[in-house]
Amino acid sequence: MSENRLTNILVPVFAVILGIIAGAIVMIVSGYDPIAGYSALLYGAFGDRYYIGETIRQVTPYILAGLAVAFAFRTGLFNIGVEGQLIVGWLAAVWVGVAFELPKVIHLPLAIIAAGAAGALWGFIPGFLKARFRVHEVIVTIMMNYIALYVSNAVIRSVLSDQGFKSEKIHPSASLRSEFLQSLTDYSTLHYGIIISLIAAVVMWFLLEKTTTGYELRAVGFNQHASHYAGMNVNRNIILAMVISGAFAGIAGAMEGLGTFENVSVKAGFTGVGFDGIAVALLGGNHAFGIILAAVLFGALKVGALEMPSAADVPTELVDIVIALIIFFVASSYLIRLVLTRFKKEGK
Amino acid sequence: MKKKRFGLSMSLLLTAGMLLGGCGQAKEEPKKEEGKASEFSVAMVTDVGGIDDKSFNQSAWEGLQKFGEENGLKKGKGGYDYLQSQSDADYATNLNKLVRNDFDLIFGIGFLMTDAITEIADQKPDNKFAIVDSVVEKPNVASITFKEHEGSFLVGVVAGLMTKTNKIGFVGGMEIPLIEKFESGFRAGVKAVNPKATVEVQYAGAFDKADKGKAIASSMYASGIDVIYHAAGATGNGVFSEAIDLKKQDPNKEIWVIGVDRDQYEEGKVPGTDKSVTLTSMVKRVDVAVYDLATKTKDGNFPGGQAVEYGLKEDGVGIAPTTKNNVPEDVLKKVDEWKQKIINGEVKVPTTRDEYKQFEASL
């Protein structure tokens, strides 16, 4: 068992290392200096307090999006709709942030709860369709992404603004930003959302590992028929899993709406955070703690990548290649497992 | 001469520094200024379009490159450079990155950068910023906008005179005030020379959806529209590809596209022929504006807090020189007449739909 756990940790680590090495090879082949490239990347992610602030800011929604994907996955559902749930959460959070003027202790939690509720509703629909009519959740969630994108654009145009392209700024009482964090990180967009996302990770771990509901959810994920036979309500658990997953994604949207941007604007396309969340969950082994580590890695890669073109002349697209390679190696973990067991056998 | 300029810029920098209030960094300042006076550095942040978008990001970068080459600057830190944004979360990070790399002047390209520049200008009062296509009222931000309505009016005149079916189309990107300027100016131009012509207006909802542009163009051409003006960035590439497809099927079909931002004659070339479906293009000289502002700032005349508007008068907008390939002489003459009228102030080109209604009533 403990050996198995060790392999579970080693596989993603090796995948990351292999991804970085393969990325270096790609850089050499295309005529760039990989050492300069990666040191620029490191500097751009952790080089000084401003960059650290930006990296943590980017990590925040990644953790929540990763949790959303992982939660559904542990129940045997593949939630591709995190992106859409994130968008409606973003919209709901900003809506509450703009429409009301309340003391901070009420306003901020209310905005976050609204975001979670909106995301949960967006997750409920595919969950219900799956439980009641056995419609595959992958198809429904993909379509719900587009509905979320265009509905929120329409709402921003007609309700939150006068045919404009963005909403007003939220009231300071709903904002996650703080002057203290800004002064700490030399005016980065770092906000208190990171604390919320870490709490969310603990909540997910506790819910899944320590409660009866969590046990049932995981049981449904392992084997629906066995769970049904054991007297669990499979349909109820499917809907519940999608609702909780959607709530995590909605709160990820609140992080963007209440922290990073403090408003919401008409989007021409998806933010990409929800889709990156799938990769985060995969790399993090669908475990709360693993997801935090994976989110830090992806956040650092994304923010650090911005430094690469100016400091090392390496195009930012290369980081997307590195990320893709890491995911490739995680997905093909069978290969790494094979090599690991072979090494172990030889060691014995 | 060199010494004089050095002294001048030195003193200007010092006064600027004093005016903005010593922010406790006095110890570092003198060292920096010595370097700055001889090596002026300038950089820009693109929006998600990137420097090869065939539109205003590319144009801005061309202006910056020209400035850099003429002043013997190198690409990179301490010279001229650009950063491309992958998503709108990157605007602030990229702008801050340039601030941290000590660039003397930092451009934000596009109205989407408005919020980010507004915020950072407050946080970094000692740095100089510029924004294109939007106005930010801060003492350390120079705003560059264009009178797109004036240029659009001229291509509207061309469209109004060249249409055979008296049906003209307009394809917009996102429905925002900026694109409304294109729409209103264009419709006014058409109406001014051809009251019988109608203009059908459609918005694609995005600047990067060529497939949508193609679908809209297809239905427009099918309904008898023969000239389409697009103000839709990469979405407009779909309008071109539809027109080229139709032209390939029937080379005698008289259909046209009017390009935007840069001279889009090349984009309209029909393969296998030397013809282009581009009737004319409304060029917006972002390159000229960027070059001008960089030069001014280098000479110590940074127009902070001001909004510079480039119109027909300043040659900031206009019709592309390749227009003569597809448009006859007498039409071009008419265009010149209207151009003079606008420059003289005889004609006031509408910038919004409400102003357009008034304009229409006054005809």
Domain assignment present for residue A37? The answer is no
pLDDT at B26: 37
Chain A residue with the nearest C-alpha to that of B177: A164
Instruction: Find the CB nearest A268 among B90, B177, B206.
Output: B206
The per-residue pLDDT for range B86-96, each reduced to its tens digit, is 888 889 999 99
Among residues A251, A305, A310, which one has the least CA distance to residue A45? A305
Question: Is B53 touching A (CB cutoff 8 A)?
Answer: no
Q: Give whole-number Cα distances, A233 to A122, A236, B101, in Å.
A: 22, 5, 59
Domain assignment present for residue A31? The answer is no
Domains identified in chain A, total number: 1
| DSSP letter (8 states) at residue B228 | E
Domain of residue A224 covers 61-291
Within 256-295 of A, beta carbons closer than 8 Å to B belong to: 256, 260-261, 263, 265-266, 268-269, 271-272
The per-residue pLDDT for range B65-74, each reduced to its tens digit, is 999 999 999 8
Domain assignment present for residue A208? The answer is yes
d(CA A4, CA B101): 47
Task: Give the best residue of B46, B93, B176 to mutate against chain A (max A CB count within 10 A).
Answer: B93
Domain assignment present for residue A325? The answer is no
In a 13 Å sphere around the CA of A143, the CA atoms on its Cβ side amount to 8
Q: Beta strands of B232-305 (E only): which ranges?
A: 256-261, 278-284
| DSSP letter (8 states) at residue B310 | E
State which amino acid sits at residue B280.
T
Domain assignment present for residue A345? The answer is no
Residue numbers in A near B42 (CB within 8 A): none
Cβ of B100 and A268 within 8 Å?
no
Residue numbers in A near B121 (CB within 8 A): none
Residue B32 has pLDDT above 80, yes or no: no
Residue numbers in B near A272 (CB within 8 A): 87
Domain assignment present for residue A102? The answer is yes
pLDDT (tens place) for every residue of chain A, 348 residues total: 456 777 788 888 888 898 899 989 999 998 899 999 999 999 999 998 999 999 999 999 999 999 999 999 999 999 999 999 999 999 999 999 999 999 999 999 999 999 999 999 999 999 999 999 999 999 999 999 999 999 999 999 899 988 778 899 999 999 999 889 988 888 888 999 999 999 999 999 999 999 999 999 999 999 999 999 999 999 999 999 999 999 999 999 999 999 999 999 888 788 989 999 999 998 998 999 999 999 999 999 999 988 888 888 888 778 788 878 887 887 777 777 777 777 777 665
pLDDT at B38: 54
Q: Please report the number of interchain residue pairs, chain A to chain B, with beta-carbon separation below 8 angstroms.
A: 66
For the B40-146+286-310 domain, the top CATH level (class) is alpha beta
Angle CA(B106)–CA(B110)–CA(B116) in degrees, nearest 5? Answer: 60
For the B148-284+328-362 domain, the top CATH level (class) is alpha beta
Domain assignment present for residue A154? The answer is yes
The two tokens of residue A232 are 């669990």
Question: Across the strands, what pairs with B97?
Answer: none
Cβ atoms of B60 and B109 closer than 8 Å: yes
The per-residue pLDDT for range B240-276, each reduced to its tens digit, is 999 999 999 988 889 999 999 889 999 899 988 888 9
Q: Which residue has the tokens 């054991």?
A: A230
Cβ of B209 and A260 within 8 Å?
no
Q: Write out the residue limits of the CATH 3.40.50.2300 domain(s) in chain B.
A: 40-146+286-310, 148-284+328-362
| Contacts for A136 with CB less than 8 Å, ≥ 6 apart | A130
Cβ of A163 and B206 within 8 Å?
no
Question: Is B89 touching A (CB cutoff 8 A)?
Answer: yes
The per-residue pLDDT for range B150-207, each reduced to its tens digit, is 999 999 999 999 999 999 999 998 888 889 999 999 999 999 999 999 999 999 988 8
pLDDT at A161: 86
% of chain B with per-residue pLDDT over 90: 67
Q: Does residue A91 sit in helix, strand or coil? A: helix
pLDDT at B55: 77
d(CA B83, CA A307): 9
Q: Beta strands of chain A (E only): which ranges?
A: none
Question: Is B363 touching A (CB cutoff 8 A)?
Answer: no
The per-residue pLDDT for range B301-349, each reduced to its tens digit, is 999 999 999 999 988 999 999 999 999 999 999 999 999 999 999 999 9
pTM of the model: 0.82
Tell whether ipTM is more than 0.90.
no
Residue B31: pLDDT band with limits 50, 70, 90: very low
d(CA B64, CA A18): 39
State which amino acid sits at residue A326.
I
Domain assignment present for residue A310? The answer is no
Say which residue, B56 or B340, is predicted with more confidence. Answer: B340
Q: Does residue A220 sit in helix, strand or coil? A: helix
pLDDT at B11: 52
List the B42-45 sheet strands across, edge first. B80-83, B42-45, B105-109, B128-132, B141-146, B307-310
Residue B143 has pLDDT above 90, yes or no: yes
For residue A164, count CB atoms less than 10 angstroms from its CB and return exposed for 0-12, middle for 13-18, buried for 19 or more: middle
Q: Which H helix or E strand runs over B47?
A: none
